[in-house]
Amino acid sequence: MALAIGGTGAGGRRRRRARRGGAINEINMTPFIDVMLVLLIIFMVAAPLMTVGVPLDLPQTKAAALNVDQKPITLSIRQTGQVFLAESELKDEEIVAKLGEAAKGGQDERVFVRGDRKVDYGRVAQVMAIVTAGGFKRVALVTEPDRK
């Protein structure tokens, strides 16, 4: 009787065992998904806070909102009478020049004027007159919808 030495097994082939502590060739997606969900939540919360403009107390009206294809140029007038384009303050002499730089579509670009509720009506009319005298014909006032 002969014994097979060397562990060749019954069929004469060596059996290999898989190493248990070896490298895994699959990517673990769980941490990636966790990070992406956290970023999604952060951006969803932060997006409404990223509106550009000067904080104003706009008057309320029952007028319906306009359907606008592109984002208009917005001038803001504070209660003190200061005029802003986005967040930069403008003097009356600079308004037309800065609007011309910001207008991609030339003087056919829509210009919105946002006036604080407590700003003098004459100041709003004065700014609108400066804009229309500069060649911009599509000038509109911005109000908030009536909450009643």
pLDDT one-digit tens code per residue, 105-121: 777 788 888 888 888 88
Report the chain's mean pLDDT, rounded to a whole number.
78
DSSP secondary structure, 42-103, as one string: HHHHHGGGG--S------EE-PPPP--SSPPEEEEE-TT--EEETTEEE-GGGHHHHHHHH-
**In this predicted structure, what is the pLDDT of residue 143?**
75
**Burial (CB count within 10 angstroms: exposed 0-12, middle 13-18, buried 19+), residue 58:** middle
User: How far apart are the C-alpha atoms of 76 and 115, rounded to whole Å?
Assistant: 6
CA 113 to centroid of chain Cα atoms:
21
Q: Which residues contact 60 (CB under 8 A, 6 or more apart)?
A: 143, 144, 145, 146, 147
**In this predicted structure, what is the pLDDT of residue 40?**
94
Return the DSSP state at 139.
E
- Is residue 68 over pLDDT 90? no
Among the ranges given (60-64, 97-101, 119-123), the one the predictor scored with the smallest mean pLDDT: 60-64
CA 88 vs CA 4, 95, 133: distances in Å: 91, 11, 21
User: How far apart are the C-alpha atoms of 70 and 18, rounded to whole Å?
Assistant: 62
Return the CATH fold of 60-145.
Nucleotidyltransferase; domain 5 (3.30.420)
Task: Give the model confidence (pLDDT) of 117-137 as tens digits.
Answer: 888 888 888 898 998 888 888
Of 73, 80, 86, whose CA–CA distance to 120 is shortest? 80
